[in-house]
Amino acid sequence: MEGYLAEYPNAFVLVSHDRYFLDVTVKRIVELWNRGLHFYTGGYTKFEQQKDERRTQLIAAYDNQQDRIRQLEAFINRFRYQATKAKQVQSRIKELERMEKIEIPPEEKTIHFTFPQPKPSGRVVAEFQGVAKSYGEHQVFSEVNFIIERGERIALVGVNGAGKSTLIKILAGAEPLTAGQFLLGHNANPDYFAQDQYKELDPDVQMIDDLATVATRASNTELRSILGCFLFSEDDVFKTIGVLSGGERNRYALARMLMMPSNFMLLDEPTNHLDMRAKDVLLTALEEYTGTMVFVSHDRYFIDKLATRIFEVENGRVNVFPGNYEDYIWRKGGGGQQPEPAEPEATAPAPPAVRPAAPAKNGGTPAKAGRLNPIKLRQIKERRHEIEEDVTRLEAEIADYESALSRFVSVEETTRLSALLEARRADLQALLIEWEQVEQLIEDNR
């Protein structure tokens, strides 16, 4: 779509909540706000800058006008009854009457909240071992292996129909496996926000009454305050869920979820029906959240700001990429080695006190963690040696890039080198984490 619009020779008008999309497709923005239309030149990023500058200028003009009004009123009140000053007083009264008053528009409403911080889980939160999923003859994915650790924020990306929602439903325990094993870690408590989460709610119940069933210790005043944070004010709190719009229902479903602390959040398109300001506040809250998170989103800005790893669901496989969305795009474009599906036995020790979240196809339960066989242990030791060599190479590359950055050539070259440096640092960090895990495996099998 971006490519098509870039070449489109005629005019177009579009509505979008996608920052990246707006930045690369439009040259003017019309904001509908405060009962008026406000025009800006450029994409969304420039719009934000110009809007801040415009408001700053408006406040300065308002302050200057208020100073002038106070001066005029003081003169009028002081000399109103002096005949010798009558002409000057009348002149100032007319100036006040002609003056077009500047008004400061009210601050825009946004959602204000923070997630309750949950109790910590074990280090390993979830693990897939050879997982496959099919619907009849249609295979969604197969031989999926990965480990999710405490505190990670995993973004699932891929084209529509690739299996992102299916994968997150398996993690939530809402979808059975076709084959393989899914292990949920010690003290991991998943909480699932579906795209159609509101459909699980009773449409005939008032919001404030429904919320009271979740937040059982909250007073009526506290319940109203919680709903107020999600833009449901005054009599809105007495609306039944069935009469809410799509955006309102999603906002309410998020508010309801926040009243049930979880240390393993599973969010399928949480930004649907949220405007950009609401997305920003949600993003801030999720950045402060101390639990583990897996989320599906088509909002590239949201992914870029939040994700610490990218799981790409593509062609029946799940490929793991370190870093955020820009790192993922860079690697997909040939900027780094293409990933291989993670082998959990070689990248991390078996999770402690795990329990099966779904049975394998044969109905069995996963084998308990034990000592590795000699062949597997030898492979792990070889992997340790490979990691140590890669770490040495990356450290040398990082030193070279840092040295090159100290010699300014151009802005473009500095930008290019900075991107390469950050990517190498991310690769190094990932390797060091893997080295620690492999070393622990070897230590456990001495």
Does residue 436 sit within a domain? yes
Question: For residue 306, which of 328, 273, 284 has the smallest C-alpha distance?
Answer: 284
Does residue 363 sit within a domain? no
What range defines the domain where residue 318 resides?
124-358
Measured CA to CA, the distance from residue 127 to residue 164 in angstroms comes to 16
Same domain for 347 and 406: no
Does residue 366 sit within a domain? no
Distance of CA 326 to the CA centre of its chain: 14
Beta bridge partners of 314: 317
Which residues, other chains included, contact 51 with Cβ-Cβ below 8 Å and sequence gap of 6+?
31, 38, 40
Distance of CA 246 to the CA centre of its chain: 20
User: In this structure, what CATH number is given to the domain that contains residue 399?
Assistant: 1.20.58
Same domain for 185 and 274: yes
Which residues, other chains included, contact 275 with Cβ-Cβ below 8 Å and sequence gap of 6+?
17, 247
What per-residue confidence (pLDDT) applies to 352? Answer: 36
Does residue 39 sit within a domain? yes
Same domain for 130 and 204: yes
Same domain for 148 and 58: no
Question: For residue 202, which of 218, 186, 214 has the smallest C-alpha distance?
Answer: 214
User: In this structure, what CATH number is given to the domain that contains residue 155?
Assistant: 3.40.50.300
R_g of the chain computed on alpha carbons: 29
Same domain for 309 and 209: yes
Same domain for 261 and 228: yes
Same domain for 386 and 268: no
Q: What is the pLDDT along the chain (446 residues), one digit of tens a residue?
A: 988 998 899 999 999 988 889 998 999 999 988 778 889 999 999 998 998 888 888 888 888 889 989 998 998 988 888 887 788 888 889 889 988 888 887 776 665 665 668 889 999 999 999 999 999 989 999 999 999 999 999 999 999 888 999 999 999 999 999 999 999 999 999 989 887 766 778 889 999 999 988 887 778 887 887 788 777 878 899 999 999 887 788 788 877 877 777 899 999 988 877 777 778 878 888 888 889 999 999 888 999 999 999 999 998 999 999 999 988 988 887 765 555 545 444 333 333 333 333 433 333 333 334 577 777 888 888 888 888 888 888 888 887 887 776 665 666 777 788 888 888 888 888 888 888 888 888 888 87
What per-residue confidence (pLDDT) applies to 410? Answer: 65
Same domain for 167 and 192: yes
Does residue 114 sit within a domain? no
Same domain for 240 and 184: yes
CB 420 within 8 A of CB 401: yes
Does residue 104 sit within a domain? no
What per-residue confidence (pLDDT) applies to 115? Answer: 63
Which residues, other chains included, contact 166 with Cβ-Cβ below 8 Å and sequence gap of 6+?
133, 140, 141, 175
Does residue 392 sit within a domain? yes
Task: Show the tokens assigned to 164.
Answer: 């992102």
Same domain for 156 and 304: yes
What per-residue confidence (pLDDT) applies to 112? Answer: 61
Does residue 103 sit within a domain? no
Q: Count the domains in the chain.
A: 3
CB 128 within 8 A of CB 145: yes
Same domain for 223 and 160: yes
Measured CA to CA, the distance from residue 428 to residue 424 in angstroms comes to 6
Same domain for 399 and 326: no
What per-residue confidence (pLDDT) applies to 295? Answer: 95
What per-residue confidence (pLDDT) applies to 337? Answer: 55
